[in-house]
Amino acid sequence: MQVLALGDAPVRVQALRSGLVEAIAMNSPHDLALIKGGYNALAGPQDVKRALPLAGLAVKDSLPKEKPALIKHALRAVLKAHRFIFDNKQETTRIMMQWLSQPAEAASRSYEMALLTLSRNGEIADADLELLTEKKRPLNEVRDYTLLREAQKELGIR
């Protein structure tokens, strides 16, 4: 197998449909469209033991010391958003349909897949973080949950 960097989802879909590649990594709702088009889904987040986060909040080393209130504000917003998503499937799906122009079936599938990658408390388990880092530095040097834990406490999360 040779891994190629092809670009975003539409480019990968076109490469698959044209026969340029035989397999692609795909997220919802594009996977649903491919399945409906006769392609097979070999595996997804629901099939693996770990569904790693799709995104995170990373800042330069000095920012938490220089502007801790700003970082906590951003962290509280992320935690509130995650809480809303977990607790409000119908409204979240409606928003996805509206903002992402997804039909109901695709928005519902996207929602279910997103739940597998979101963290209720904003933390990434050490074992998962190990998979995401280059292991050039110990975890305690590349992550600091101090401000996150303060934001969790303020929101009553733990």
Sketch the domain layout of the chain as residue ranges.
9-42, 63-155
In this structure, the number of other CB atoms found within 10 A of the CB of residue 34 comes to 18
Instruction: Please give the pLDDT value at position 138.
Output: 83
Instruction: Please give the pLDDT value at position 54.
Output: 67
Is-contact 134 65, C-beta < 8 A? no
Question: Which residue positions in the chain have pLDDT lower than 70?
Answer: 49-52, 54
As a whole number of angstroms, the distance between CA 26 and CA 94 comes to 22
Burial of 99 (0-12, 13-18, 19+ CB in 10 A): exposed
Instruction: Please give the pLDDT value at position 3.
Output: 81
Segment 102-134, tens digit of pLDDT: 899 989 988 988 888 888 899 888 888 887 777
Instruction: Please give the pLDDT value at position 144.
Output: 86
Instruction: Please give the pLDDT value at position 134.
Output: 74
Instruction: Please give the pLDDT value at position 50.
Output: 63
As a whole number of angstroms, the distance between CA 147 and CA 77 comes to 13
Instruction: Please give the pLDDT value at position 19.
Output: 93
Distance of CA 157 to the CA centre of its chain: 20
As a whole number of angstroms, the distance between CA 135 and CA 126 comes to 12
Instruction: Please give the pLDDT value at position 127.
Output: 82
Tokens of 13: 């879909």
